[in-house]
Structure 1
Amino acid sequence: MFSTKGRYALRVMIDLAQQDSDDFVPLKDIAERQDISKKYLEIIAKEMVRGKLIVGASGKHGGYRLVRRPEEYSVGEVIDLMEGTFAPVVCLACNAEECPRADKCKTLSMWKEFYEIEKEFFYNKKISDLL
């Protein structure tokens, strides 16, 4: 299950893409359009800036904008940044220690297959597909 953080980050990305502008979009405008708390969006936007999905500027004409074109962003990279790994089980997560039961595990191949399907789905879906 995805958290509000991941879902709201996608809504921010879509909102910024819909503006189709090189201008910075004030966060208060995004918050109003998306009916999301501006305070909560500030936390999300900071993470997205750190993850290099968007860029921010302060001041009178400040706000946020996309770094790339909407078709250059995958939904997967947004969710990955905000939610963490897509791995359905701990042993498939990045940097996971090798499971001592891996050679005997009857379910590992199923989890690997599911993981690949999930990643493929979200990484092949672009922000531009959601506009």
Structure 2
Amino acid sequence: MKISTKGRYGLTIMMELANRVGEGPTSLKSIAEKHQLSEHYLEQLVAPLRNAGLVKSIRGAYGGYILSKAADQVTAGEVIRVLEGPISPVDFTEEDDPAKRDLWIRIRDSIADVLDSTTLANLISYEDQGSSDNYMFYI
């Protein structure tokens, strides 16, 4: 399974909002400028995050987005599933060889375990420790 820009940029949005808790709404423009991303693309990503109840939009001149829940209550798995769909390295069926099917299930469950046990608070804490240039997850 390869996480696309949807999942990666979605996590970027969520981490920025988590970093700015208490500062009021954050505009997508400021996130796009900071990370050199397309604001239009971020707008497409934030809609499903809002529909899933992970972010709230605030209208007005000083509007933007805020997290709907505390950073330690939102997992990377939630964000990835909203933007990418189910987590699975391959499509498999019950007719597949049992040994291979078991391998794919174990891989899927391991990936899900890492994503579901990593919160936004964990990610921004890791970023605060000086590793913000490139965060890498090892599974």
SS state of the match for residue 57, structure 2?
strand
CA distance in structure 1 between the aligned counterparts of 2:70 and 2:35, rounded to whole angstroms: 21
- Larger gyration radius, structure 1 or structure 2: 1
The TM-score with structure 2 as length reference comes to 0.82
| More displaced 10-residue stretch of structure 1: 15-24 or 64-73 | 15-24
1:125 alignment counterpart? 118
CA distance in structure 2 between the aligned counterparts of 1:4 and 1:115, rounded to whole angstroms: 20
SS state of the match for residue 56, structure 1?
strand
Contact map agreement 1:16 1:65 (CA 8 A) in 2: yes
Contact map agreement 2:55 2:66 (CA 8 A) in 1: yes
Give the unaligned 5+ runs of structure 2: 125-139
CA distance in structure 1 between the aligned counterparts of 2:46 and 2:38, rounded to whole angstroms: 12
SS state of the match for residue 106, structure 1?
helix
Identity level (%): 28
CA distance in structure 1 between the aligned counterparts of 2:98 and 2:123, rounded to whole angstroms: 38
Instruction: Specify the code of the residue in structure 2 equivalent to 1:123.
Output: D
CA distance in structure 2 between the aligned counterparts of 1:76 and 1:87, rounded to whole angstroms: 12
**Count, aligned residues:** 123
Instruction: Specify the code of the residue in structure 2 equivalent to 1:5.
Output: K
The TM-score with structure 1 as length reference comes to 0.86
1:14 alignment counterpart? 15
CA distance in structure 1 between the aligned counterparts of 2:62 and 2:81, rounded to whole angstroms: 30
CA distance in structure 2 between the aligned counterparts of 1:48 and 1:40, rounded to whole angstroms: 13
What is the CA RMSD across the aligned residues, in angstroms? 1.5
Query: How far apart are 1:100 and its partner, in Å?
Result: 5.1
Give the unaligned 5+ runs of structure 1: 92-98
Deviations 1:63-113 (A, max 9, x none): 10000111111111101111111122323xxxxxxx4525x5331111111
1:113 alignment counterpart? 106
